């Protein structure tokens, strides 16, 4: 139903009631990066795009953008970020994947699939004359109960499982990625990297600032030749060959301005009558830079990092002083080095009196700064920093696509290990949590005498989408496997002697059911809780919509 808006002030179309929900559910304009395919779909379509990439046997997507750049990935957040989703309801799901990526780091595909399924089932209930308000309150109740059940009954403390649990969490996160075959090797690398940046703050809390892990990609060799370096690596070399390759101990100056020859400002005019004066102006321009560099060296700096350029003429002063100067450092890298070494990023030499000074307190400290060769590139390593420790992962691989996907996979695994260390609780993977919650919520629904009963029962059914999709992607009989899984979880929740069955999940390689806690297929409990919370909120956001008004543009002459 599309009608012209009645008000003379509003020009456009208005869709109301059931129409708008159905449209939200089935149609969204997705000019997929392959521009020719402009297909009309929506939330279901968004979920269907990422559905086949879920699980240890999920498939990858190849995304080609309008200038022909290729990305090959099965990371939900990356896929959805690259799609140009135009339908407003479908955009909610794209933002949902980004939120999950920011908050937890992994589980982006799962959260979109669950949200779309909740939406689909909620829509069915609306068609059956259940009011959206009843559905929303039912979903909210189910979400709270589900999160409570995960934390009280399904979560296991990491201490019980030992250090292996961290490696297993990383391996579970990588199992669906390109590097699944080498997950043993990479999981240990990731755990070492995260534990390498461990810090304790003033309150005595242990934190893992994973931004201190720098990932450098270098072509050549195989993926298993990747390694961990103790120190922050900058993907650039010294500015001149005459500089030393190693400075110890290092006093680091972080600058965010040019050390090139000072030029006259735009709009400044100087009238010169005597040609000899011209040479003096040139000389003074060169001297200003020289004085700045001398101020740096006088303050004790022996490593100078700048985001801008350094004049070739000025490099001789650093060479003479035996200091390392690095130009064109990325701002992000500069901030990390400054934070780790305790330096202050300086944007100007000017002080309150209008003079140019450089205070030694702006310098950062590190045990040593050294230049090393990795593949064909020179890399500056900052080792033994004063404040937080920093480590770098050097990734090797055959080509750009592979290196980018390894980078994304390791980012997810690093986030998961951090979450596991900070929350200290894990749950079994492979559909175990979803099946347990489905059985629990189904029983809970039957105990309620209110309208929410139907919504909670649908919520319970919707959660089963995860084990179903996992089984379908693994080319197994989803109906049979999910039925067996539910039977195990029903027994674990109703029989006192069968409680150990609560960790039963899918073994997708053999097509059977197994105890995933013992098999080492585990995820942080926080990841599951966030998936349920975010997916429910997103579904509710879209279910609340019953009117969509699309405003038409006014004509040039103000006529409609």
Residues with active-site annotation:
75, 108-109, 412
Beta strands in 69-200 (DSSP E): 70-73, 156-157, 199-200
Q: Using an 8 Å Cβ cutoff, are 260 and 309 in contact?
A: yes
Q: Using an 8 Å Cβ cutoff, are 207 and 186 in contact?
A: no
The two structure tokens encoding residue 236: 């650039």
Q: Is 548 exposed, middle or buried (0-12, 13-18, 19+ CB in 10 A)?
A: middle
Which residues make beta-bridge pairs with 251?
Answer: 365
Nearest to 125, CA basis, from 25, 56, 222, 208: 25
What's phi and psi for 43, nearest 5 deg? -50, -45
Any long-range contacts for 495-503 (C-beta under 8 Å, 24+ apart)?
A: 502/153, 502/154, 502/428, 502/432, 502/436, 503/428, 503/432
Distances (CA, A) of 184 to 147, 170, 177: 31, 9, 13
- The rounded distance, in Å, linking the Cα atoms of 173 and 506 is 15
- The rounded distance, in Å, linking the Cα atoms of 61 and 53 is 8
What's phi and psi for 395, nearest 5 deg? -100, 135
Q: Using an 8 Å Cβ cutoff, are 253 and 299 in contact?
A: yes
> Helical H runs in 299-429?
315-321, 331-341, 400-423
Distances (CA, A) of 72 to 54, 190, 327, 403, 520: 15, 22, 33, 10, 28
252-278: b (≥16 Cβ within 10 Å) or e: bbbbbebbbbeeeeeeeeeeeeeeeee
Cis, bond preceding 249 (omega within 30 deg of 0)? yes
Which residues make beta-bridge pairs with 89?
Answer: none
- The rounded distance, in Å, linking the Cα atoms of 168 and 188 is 9
3-state SS class at 495: coil
Q: Write the CB contacts of 276 (distance below 8 Å, at least 6 apart in sequence).
A: none
């Amino acid at each position: 139903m599309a009608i012209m808006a009645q008000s003379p002030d509003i020009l456009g179309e208005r869709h109301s009631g059931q129409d708008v929900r159905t449209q939200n559910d089935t149609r969204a304009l997705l000019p997929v990066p392959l521009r020719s395919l402009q297909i009309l779909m929506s939330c279901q379509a968004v979920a269907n795009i990422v559905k086949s990439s879920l699980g240890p046997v999920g498939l990858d997507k190849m995304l080609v953008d309008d200038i022909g750049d290729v990305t090959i990935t099965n990371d939900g957040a990356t896929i959805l970020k690259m799609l140009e989703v135009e339908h407003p309801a479908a955009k909610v799901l794209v933002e949902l994947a980004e939120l999950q990526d920011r908050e937890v780091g992994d589980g982006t595909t799962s959260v979109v699939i669950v949200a779309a399924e909740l939406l689909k089932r909620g829509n069915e209930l609306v068609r059956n004359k259940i009011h959206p308000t009843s559905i929303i309150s039912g979903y909210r109740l189910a979400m709270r109960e589900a999160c409570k059940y995960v934390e009280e009954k399904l979560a296991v403390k990491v201490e019980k499982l030992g250090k292996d649990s961290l490696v297993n969490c990383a391996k579970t996160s990588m199992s669906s990625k390109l590097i699944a075959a080498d997950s043993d090797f990479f999981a240990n690398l990731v755990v070492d990297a995260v534990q390498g940046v461990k810090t304790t703050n003033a309150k005595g809390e242990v934190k893992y600032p994973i931004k201190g892990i720098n990932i450098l990609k270098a072509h050549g060799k195989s993926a298993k030749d990747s390694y961990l370096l103790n120190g922050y690596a900058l993907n650039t070399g010294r500015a001149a060959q005459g500089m030393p390759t190693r400075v110890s101990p290092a006093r680091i100056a972080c600058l965010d301005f040019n050390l090139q020859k000072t030029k006259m400002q735009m709009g400044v005019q100087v009238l010169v009558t005597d040609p000899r004066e011209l040479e003096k102006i040139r000389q003074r321009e060169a001297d200003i830079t020289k004085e700045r560099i001398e101020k740096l060296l006088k303050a004790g700096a022996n490593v100078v990092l700048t985001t801008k350029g350094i004049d070739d003429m000025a490099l001789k002063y650093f060479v003479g002083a035996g200091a390392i100067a690095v130009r064109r450092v990325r701002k992000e890298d500069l901030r990390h080095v400054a934070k780790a070494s305790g330096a202050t990023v300086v944007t100007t030499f000017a002080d309150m009196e209008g003079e140019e000074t450089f205070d030694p307190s702006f310098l950062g400290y590190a045990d040593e700064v050294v230049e090393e060769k990795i593949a064909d590139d020179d890399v500056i390593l900052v080792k033994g920093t004063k404040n937080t420790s920093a480590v770098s992962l050097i990734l090797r691989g055959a080509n750009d696509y592979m290196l980018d996907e390894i980078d994304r996979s390791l980012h997810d695994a690093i986030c998961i290990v951090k979450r596991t260390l900070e929350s200290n609780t894990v749950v079994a993977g492979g559909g175990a949590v979803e099946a347990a919650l489905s059985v629990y919520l189904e029983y809970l629904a039957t105990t309620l005498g209110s309208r929410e009963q139907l919504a909670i029962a649908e919520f319970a059914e919707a959660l089963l989408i995860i084990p179903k999709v996992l089984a379908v992607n693994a080319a197994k009989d989803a109906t049979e496997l999910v039925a067996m899984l539910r039977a195990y979880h029903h027994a674990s929740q109703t029989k006192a002697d069968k409680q150990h069955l609560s960790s039963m999940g899918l073994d997708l390689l053999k097509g059977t059911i197994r105890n995933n806690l013992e098999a080492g297929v585990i995820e942080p409990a926080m990841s599951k809780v966030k998936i349920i919370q975010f997916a429910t909120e997103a579904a509710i956001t879209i279910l609340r919509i019953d009117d969509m008004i699309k405003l038409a543009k006014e004509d040039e002459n103000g006529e409609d």
